[in-house]
Copies of this chain bind each other. A is one copy, B any other.
């Protein structure tokens, strides 16, 4: 998606070998018009699937997921993160390891909001090692729901997340695909 790639080149900050900071438009300050365009792009990609629900994880996933829910006119559910859960009643839970923070969080969703009748589109801001998406897929399995696919704002193709999903034949739409960071510059993958 050209609009997003241009924005990443203008406003993204490359930190070290594998970190891209996009806190000026995606995950601390948010550009609502850009979010609406991302939501529309995910809609265009997945509109032929019989989706009933959009699923994401707090907090950075909420904005692109809500914009996608607006395009589909479908409910958005965000999983909550907890260091440890004291109450697991009526919750689906999964463990998510963060390579960046080197911590494990539990994510959880109330059983009220996901069932075997649902067909789910996962939306997240980043796909790197794929741990958050794997946790959401685990929860979708617990609910007996169907996974329609995964929509990612920014994918880092050089980390293992995309391969994990491709190996399972899951449809993935990434709006920007980053192949490498070279001399502090972003190199996008050529489709």
Contact = CB atoms under 8 A, between A and B. Distances in A.
Contact of A75 (B30, B69, B112, B113): B30
Given A59-B59, A112-B24, A66 B29 contact: no
Contact of A69 (B32, B70, B80, B112): B32
Contacts of A36: 70
A58 B70 CA distance: 20
A167 interface: no
Contact of A30 (B24, B29, B78): B78
A23 B112 CA distance: 10
Nearest to A71: B32
Contacts of A110: 23, 28-29
Interface in A15-71: 23-25, 28-33, 35-36, 58-59, 62-63, 66-67, 69-70
The 7 A-B residue pairs with the shortest CB-CB distance, nearest first, are A32-B69, A58-B59, A32-B70, A30-B76, A62-B62, A59-B59, A29-B113
